[in-house]
Chains A and B, each alone.
Chain A
Amino acid sequence: MSTADMKVYRPPVIDIIEEGDELLEVAMGPHHPSTHGVFRMDVALDGERVIRLKPVFGYLHRNHEKIAEKASYLAAMPYTDRLDYFCSLTNNWAYALAVEKLAGLEVPERAEYIRVITAELTRIQNHASSIGFLMQEMGASGTPLMYAFRERERILDLFEELTGSRMMCNYMRFGGCRVELPTGWLAKAQTIVDGLPKFIDEIEALLTGNEILMARCQGMGILKPDLAINAGVTGPMLRATGVNYDLRKVDHYGIYDRFKFRVPLGDHGDIFDRYMIRVLEMRESVTILHQAIKDIPAGPIMDPKSKIRGFRPKPGEAYGRIEAPKGELGFYLISDGSGNPYRYRVRPPSLINLTILEDMCLGHNVADVVLIFGSVDIVLGEVDR
């Protein structure tokens, strides 16, 4: 093998436009309603066609990693809630998993089941609201988003009952979970999960066959599988291009090998596929939830070896990752034997999924940039950290 014939995926360069054409440079954001927070795209337009697009971020940067390095291992747990504030429970899980790898802790069975139940509920509410936001950006003002939020509220009520907080859950601990399930919680969760297929049917009846949605989403913002792999795109974005890579199936972290579920894959890698993947993943999450709620055993929820106070893992390093709703969320930790991590790194799926934003948007109209950007599904709290 020689490196000379290796395929190189270069970031796109500006096309040379004809002499006399004038480029219009627009700063979309940071205060643009479609940017999900404070995010800027420096766009150069030829008429309405996008010639160049450079994302600019950092408006929410607070150096999460430095804060965590100055605090104890446990003190970083509530900070992880603030990364992707839609999915605090999966953030907790990814961090707990990395620390468990670093310190060699085992998680009791019941805690694993609770983690799966909370993570899949998180996935459903994240996908539902991300579809709602996508429709909002398409001009379907309000209705689909409110349908999604109605269901999300029910799930957040469950989280509140379990963890005391609706969005900033701070629930998982190294080697288990913080508190036992309240009495009757599982029955309530079962009722909500039973109602979910009806909600997904409803949202599909409303949207999937909709002509406007198909016209604006199909064939728009196409991402090729080889570029997606090379650019490290993960999550529904990657699976919409047809690459079968779901960490629940690849790593079998937690107890995911016990559940029967399918990994939906797309064909075209366009916005419509990303929408469909999210709908289908919600359906698969419902089947996982049914199995997990049925099989959950009694028992302890914390590893007896795990210490809350004076937690000092031996020197070494570990990289732990999970399939968060937005993609692969990883935590890389280096321990020097003291009470706080020597190096603490978050691998944010939202940031890395934006690498190919320019590739997807070039040549499209500026109105479609909003849609393509919305289909990536990012949260700025995680991009900027």
Chain B
Amino acid sequence: MKSTEEILAMIQAALPAAHVELVLNPSPSAQHSLRVAPADAFAVASFLRESVELALDYCSNVTGVDWPDKEITEKVKVTQLVDGEEKVVEETVKRIEPGCLEAVYHLYSMRRAHEAIAGPVVLRMRTVNRTDQVQLPSLTFVWRAAEFQEREIFDLFGIVFTGHPDLRRILMWDEFEDHPMRRDYVDPDDYEYEPTPHDEVLKRAEAQSKSAGVTA
């Protein structure tokens, strides 16, 4: 099995225009990953699957990760005029690092499974932000295994996979509106709440009493 660096070099040799970077993993598992720009993801994924040497024909796991906006406090040295003199003063600056949603693909090879003990090849891609630009290209046409798992990410994280053949909610019900696996998701008081006829009656009664000048 090739190391992640070697795989990166192979991708860069075959697709020089693709933006791929290495993301190191400091844990003892040493499963490093490759971060792909969403625009190049389909080409890179197709290359990984079709390459004779790698033959990553099996996409084991697809999942999402939520990285919310992070507030970072930093100490910055600033030159300031204090009593007519220029002094270097330390200032604490707060800045907000924008968050994103990430899709992670774990790839293996079945055709070349018995040649060496292989770790997963981890492919990741990130959305621009967490609110309105949450599109990523779907890799379902490269690996059919991603079909249900991308639907699950769409359901639970809210990443919209463009080009997915059947992007619907999979675990939550269709009328559900939020994305429960996001870090900032708040449980509703009552999952089963539906407006009942009783509420309408109450509203009408309130409106009537208001027009009659009665205050409750």
Which of A315, A345, A351 is B148 in contact with, Cβ under 8 Å? Answer: A351
Q: Which residues of B contact A66 (CB under 8 A)?
A: 180-181
Q: Which residues of A contact B166 (CB under 8 A)?
A: 11
Q: How far is B156's CA from A384's CA once the two chains are assembled, in angstroms?
A: 12
Residue count of chain A within 8 Å CB distance of chain B: 52
* In the assembled complex, A210 has its CB within 8 A of some CB on chain B: no
By beta carbon, the residue of chain A nearest B182 is A66
A231/B31 in contact, CB under 8 A? no
Q: How far is B155's CA from A351's CA once the two chains are assembled, in angstroms?
A: 15
Q: Which residues of A contact B143 (CB under 8 A)?
A: 230-232
Q: Which residues of B contact A103 (CB under 8 A)?
A: 27-28
Which of A250, A314, A345, A384 is B61 in contact with, Cβ under 8 Å? Answer: A345
B31/A245 in contact, CB under 8 A? no
Contact of A314 with B145 at beta-carbon distance under 8 Å, contacts A6-B49, A232-B60 already known? no
Contact of A317 with B165 at beta-carbon distance under 8 Å, contacts A65-B181, A354-B148 already known? no
By beta carbon, the residue of chain B nearest A54 is B166
* In the assembled complex, A187 has its CB within 8 A of some CB on chain B: no
Q: How far is B28's CA from A354's CA once the two chains are assembled, in angstroms?
A: 34
Q: How far is B143's CA from A229's CA once the two chains are assembled, in angstroms?
A: 9
Q: Report B78-104 CB contacts with A as 1/0, cut-off 8 Å.
A: 000000000000000000000000001
Which of B31, B46, B144 is A318 in contact with, Cβ under 8 Å? Answer: B31
Q: Which of B15-67 touch A at CB < 8 Å? A: 25-29, 31, 42-43, 46-47, 49-51, 57-61, 63, 65
Q: How far is B142's CA from A209's CA once the two chains are assembled, in angstroms?
A: 41
Q: Which residues of A contact B63 (CB under 8 A)?
A: 332, 343, 345, 347
Q: How far is B103's CA from A343's CA once the two chains are assembled, in angstroms?
A: 12
Which of B27, B104, B147, B171 is A313 in contact with, Cβ under 8 Å? Answer: B27
Interface residues of B (CB under 8 A from A): 14, 25-29, 31, 42-43, 46-47, 49-51, 57-61, 63, 65, 104, 106, 110-111, 113-114, 117-118, 120, 122, 141-149, 156, 165-166, 169-173, 180-181
Please name 5 pairs of A and B residues whose Cβ atoms are closer than 8 Å in the assembled complex, sorted by A. Answer: A232-B144, A232-B145, A243-B110, A245-B113, A345-B63
